[in-house]
């Protein structure tokens, strides 16, 4: 919250804090809130691996008395983090015993890691905490799984809002005026793209008039293309967030997505062709619909991969900004493939 305030207001608040708390908060404010350091807690003490139980217990109690909070005990060896000591182990060890036998492993993460990298580490290696280290390998804080869980919930909400073209700032209690403010721009853009799709369909008015059955199956082409594109977009956006892919390294991903799109197009095209044959006994239209399905799922794979990467390269949010362009591509090119093939095959 403090990082959202101006420097003057922030300083005023800090002046009313105790020295210990002010020092801790000032340390946290130095870091980018969108990195691992922005999530970390600084309630920890550092002890040496050769320290005795009594020495560590004294430091533990001193920190608790001074701050009112129980610290994490980080264990150092040769000035490098080697693990942590669970607080309850202090009750089992003898006062003169070294803590070496009680040290547990702790995962680490760089202070500059993005929030997505933090959540990915917790997903890959489930644990209750990780130590945050600086560029020199020194421990500077702790991130708890509860904080990451809250972060993941926020990210999921933001992604959901982005795919829907809604601002993450909007809430269910907002006034109608505020909701309009957040939504109208995307709706106008969507309206423009809808007109583009309608114009494309209008180019084949003569074909549709002659073969009215085509109009019945047009929503299937658009709907399947949109759904397939959303699937690809979700995977690529996650890859971008985790820095697994960028525009330069997109070839392998694009190849795999096109392969998946082609196979899914064949499967779904075969199914829809069977339905048309069984229901309407129109082999030519069944063939047109099957081919259009393959083409549109290839379009979905291509645009679902490339568009978010381009948006990311332009420093735009790929989740929200890519959706409208991908939907336009699948609608326009899907209708063009379906009605174009119909014009050729049914002529």
Q: Residue 342's pLDDT is what?
A: 94
d(CA 202, CA 130): 59
Whole-number Å distance between alpha carbons of 117 and 241: 8
pLDDT of the residue at 163:
53
Distance CA 4, CA 40 (A): 17
Q: What is the pLDDT of residues 6-46, one digit of tens each?
A: 555 666 665 655 555 555 566 666 677 788 888 888 788 88
- Higher-confidence residue of 64 and 54: namely 54
User: Helix (H, G, I), strand (E, B), or coil: what is residue 96?
Assistant: coil
**Cβ proximity of 218 and 341 under 8 Å:** no
158 against 78, higher pLDDT: 78
pLDDT tens-digit series, residues 233-273: 888 988 887 778 888 888 999 999 999 999 999 999 999 99
Phi, psi of 197 (to 5 degrees): -65, -40
CA distance 28 to 95: 34
Question: What local confidence, expressed as pLDDT, does residue 287 receive?
Answer: 95
Start-end ranges of CATH 3.10.580.10 in the chain? 31-160
pLDDT confidence of residue 21: 56
Per residue in 185-204, pLDDT (tens digit) is: 777 887 888 899 899 999 99
Side-chain half-sphere CA neighbours of 184 within 13 A: 6
Q: Which of 297 and 136 is assigned the larger pLDDT?
A: 297
pLDDT above 70 covers a percentage of the chain that reads 85
Going by pLDDT thresholds of 50, 70 and 90, the confidence category of residue 91 is confident
Q: Is the pLDDT of residue 152 over 90?
A: no
User: How many degrees, rounded to 5, is the angle at CA 244 between CA 242 and CA 245?
Assistant: 120
- What pLDDT shows up at residue 282? 92
Element (H, E) at 301: helix 283-313
Predicted confidence at residue 27, as pLDDT, reads: 64
pLDDT value, residue 225? 92
pLDDT band at 278 (very low <50, low <70, confident <90, very high): very high
Could you identify the residue written with the tokens 């691992």? Answer: 36
Q: For position 296, what pLDDT does the model report? A: 95
Angle at 326 between CA 325 and CA 327, to 5 degrees: 95
Q: Is 26 helix (H, G, I), strand (E, B) or coil?
A: helix
- Compare 294 and 45 and report the one with higher pLDDT: 294
Task: Return the CATH class of domain 31-160.
Answer: alpha beta
Q: Where in the chain is the domain with CATH 1.10.357.20?
A: 176-345
**167: pLDDT strictly greater than 60:** no
- Give the lowest-confidence range in 62-66, 95-99, 279-283: 62-66
Higher per-residue pLDDT: 334 or 144: 334
pLDDT at 266: 97
Query: Which fold, 176-345?
Result: Tetracycline Repressor; domain 2 (1.10.357)
**Can you tell me the mean pLDDT for 129-154?**
82
Residue given tokens 């990915």 in the structure block: 120
Non-local CB neighbours of 85 within 8 Å, separated by 6+ positions: 47, 56, 73, 75, 99, 102, 103, 104
How much is the pLDDT for 1?
53
Q: Is pLDDT at 138 greater than 70 in this prediction?
A: yes
Q: How confident is the model at residue 168 (pLDDT cuts 50, 70, 90)?
A: low
């Amino acid at each position: 919250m403090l990082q959202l305030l101006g420097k003057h207001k922030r300083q005023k608040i800090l002046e009313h804090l105790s020295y210990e708390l002010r020092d801790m908060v000032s340390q946290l404010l130095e870091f980018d809130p969108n990195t691992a350091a922005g999530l970390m807690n600084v309630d920890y003490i550092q002890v040496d691996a050769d320290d005795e139980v009594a020495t560590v217990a004294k430091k533990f109690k001193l920190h608790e008395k001074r701050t009112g909070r129980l610290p994490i005990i980080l264990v150092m060896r040769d000035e490098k983090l080697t693990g942590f000591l669970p607080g309850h182990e202090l009750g089992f060890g003898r006062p003169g015993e070294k803590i070496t036998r009680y040290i547990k492993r702790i995962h680490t993460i760089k202070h500059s890691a993005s929030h997505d990298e933090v959540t990915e580490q917790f997903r890959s290696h489930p644990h209750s905490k990780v130590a945050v280290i600086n560029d020199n390998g020194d421990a500077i804080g702790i991130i708890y799984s509860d904080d990451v869980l809250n972060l993941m919930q926020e990210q999921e909400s933001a992604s959901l809002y982005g795919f829907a073209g809604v601002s993450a700032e909007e809430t269910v209690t907002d006034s109608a005026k505020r909701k309009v403010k957040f939504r109208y721009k995307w709706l106008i853009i969507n309206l423009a793209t809808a007109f583009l799709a309608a114009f494309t369909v209008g180019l084949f008015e003569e074909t549709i008039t002659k073969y009215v059955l085509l109009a019945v199956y047009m929503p299937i082409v658009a709907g399947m293309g949109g759904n397939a594109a959303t699937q690809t977009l979700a995977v690529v956006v996650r890859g971008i967030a985790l820095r697994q892919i960028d525009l330069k390294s997109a070839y392998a991903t694009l190849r795999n997505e096109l392969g998946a799109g082609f196979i899914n197009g064949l499967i779904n095209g075969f199914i829809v062709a069977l339905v048309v044959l069984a229901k309407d006994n129109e082999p030519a239209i069944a063939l047109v619909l099957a081919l259009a399905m393959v083409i549109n799922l290839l379009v979905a794979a291509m645009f679902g991969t490339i568009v978010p990467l381009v948006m990311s390269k332009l420093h735009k949010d790929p989740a929200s900004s890519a959706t409208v362009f991908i939907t336009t591509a699948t609608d326009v090119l899907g209708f063009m493939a379906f009605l174009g093939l119909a014009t050729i095959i049914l002529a």
